[in-house]
Amino acid sequence: MFENFPKTAAWSERVTMILGLNPGPFVGPGTNTFLIGTGKQRFLLDTGHGVPEYLPLLEKTMRDVGCEALQGIVLTHNHPDHNGGLISLRETFGEIPIFKKIIASDGVFNFGFSALEDGDVLETKGARLRAIFTPGHALDHLCFFLEEERAIFTGDNVLGVGSSVIPAETGSMRDYLNSLERIKAENPRRLYPAHGPYVDNAIAKLDEYLTHRRAREAEIVRALQAGATHVSEIVTKVYADVDKVLHIAAAQSVAAHLIKLEQEGRVQRYPAQNATTPHDPLAIEWLLIESVMERLRSTSATQRMTACRQMAEMTPTSETIAAFAQALGDTEKCVVRTAVDALAKFASQNNETRTVLHRLLRSPHAAPRWGAVCALLQLEPPTPRMLPILVETLASVDGDLRWAAARHLVEAGRLHPEVQPLLLGLARDPHSAILRRMALYCLRDLSPDDSKTAQVMLEASYDTDLRVRRAAFTAMAPLLDPDPKLLERLLCVAEADSDPGCRRIAPITLSEIARRNPHARNAAEWQAVWTRLRALAETTSDASLAKALHIALDRAASIAATEPSPH
């Protein structure tokens, strides 16, 4: 398709194009190189790919236009189809200066370069070139403004045929679009591209490129919205009408667009740190954040759960942190748990999340307060500022939350001495049976060896709320050195309480107390306990109570059998 493209052409009185003779699907007819100026010494802009036939063509063209020597070589950027002829040109023309923007990869050559920076000017007879730093396609990309013609040598930033590829790893779509705007701001009349014919309507071409890139970005976003997550899937959707041979190059530009969207906070890599390819944008998955947020607002719990799991693997942003904070109030426990775990992980990575969590501790709503506590407890020991929220949650209608709060209160009690008096007070709370019950369980785990704990449990065994009474009898099991009054209370309950449940719990609790207090097993009061329980087992007509009594007595016999023999 490039058979009619000329090998050489005078594009103006001071610009002669010499084709690099390296046609291909990614470079069109080949790389354009340029002799610039009108004198006997001129600049050569770019050197082609190093095709052997290029050098004779260049020498012939120089003779044809009256150029006797090269004043210097100027490079738009460090890609092989632009610098591939450097070595053969140096061998032919000697150590002429080579001008370019210096980058680290220039070290592959065993000769030096003359540095060019943005705004630097190169002059030869009939031509004045001003360097314009235009990164995007390459880190070192320079365009050159030819002042006499108000023309710009655009390198690979603008082509005469097709569109420029932006490499995902070494390029930058955001920089590239800024570079197009920079070129446009120069208000050029003509463009001299590195591939394809020159462009006379420069501004229209630049607008076309900008429009094309914005349209491609919109198509990529639509593909993400439709469920595509890999670059290959996006390329298949967006470039369906493009020859598949070009899909390799298209994948690079798609990945560059995704990185730009990532920089703008619109997409994220998923997972953020893939174990095998953590940095390869072509291999990992990409998620459109707005789509994830939309799923998080779905009426489907499954959709919300999926969104939470996806966001949990993302790099935290203000938007995702806020979304997880809102998810703490979700009606589905699985969503809340995922949000809590994600916030805890995020808080371990950045202070912004930790600040949000501490702010949520003052929320007027219970759910975010509790979620913030749960997340913070994964990062730091419970602090006194968390106690009011933990106490509040002890009275929650959600059993899972109550028990989680109880665990945390016990942990807090081991760190802060003010917790036990707080729990003793809650165990006597006149308004909430749930609080009284949960406080008993907390005290059971926190201070079973404290006489105050035993006393409050004894008091609770007379509570008007049946569930509190049962909790009291159950919570007595780990007590150490309990007062004989408490043992007598348990015996009386086993023998004559009005509630069958309490009667069944009492003998089991007695046997558990005996197991935990080995020094008291042979005491006279314990022998009396077993005697009364045996008598009750022989006379009761309640099969469930009889079963509980036999369990307790068998346990007592087992305890006695393990007693060491006296010497």
Query: Which has the closest alpha carbon to 155: 126, 123, 191?
Result: 191
| 185, 222 Cβ separation under 8 angstroms | no
Extract the tokens encoding 5: 């493209």
**pLDDT on residue 32:** 97
Residues 6+ apart with CB under 8 A from 153: 34, 45, 76, 129, 143, 144, 146, 192, 194
Query: Which has the closest alpha carbon to 102: 81, 69, 131, 63?
Result: 131
**pLDDT on residue 2:** 64
**pLDDT on residue 240:** 86
| 469, 460 Cβ separation under 8 angstroms | yes
Residues 6+ apart with CB under 8 A from 491: 506, 510, 529, 532, 533
**pLDDT on residue 421:** 96
**Structural domains in the chain, sorted by start:** 8-199 (3.60.15.10), 201-296 (1.10.10.10), 301-380 (no CATH), 406-480 (no CATH), 482-567 (no CATH)
CA distance 71 to 93: 10
| DSSP label at residue 287 | E
**pLDDT on residue 565:** 45
**pLDDT on residue 108:** 66
Neighbours of 155 (CB within 10 A): 29
Q: Is the peptide bond before 271 cis (omega within 30 degrees of 0)?
A: yes
- pTM exceeding the 0.75 threshold for the entire prediction: no
| DSSP reduced 3-state for 313 | coil
The CA-to-CA distance between both ends of the chain, in Å, stands at 108
Per-block mean pLDDT, blocks of 10 residues, the chain (567 long) = 84 97 88 97 97 96 97 95 93 93 78 93 98 96 97 96 88 96 97 97 96 95 92 91 82 93 88 58 87 89 89 85 92 91 92 93 91 91 89 88 92 93 96 96 95 96 96 95 91 94 95 82 78 93 94 84 52
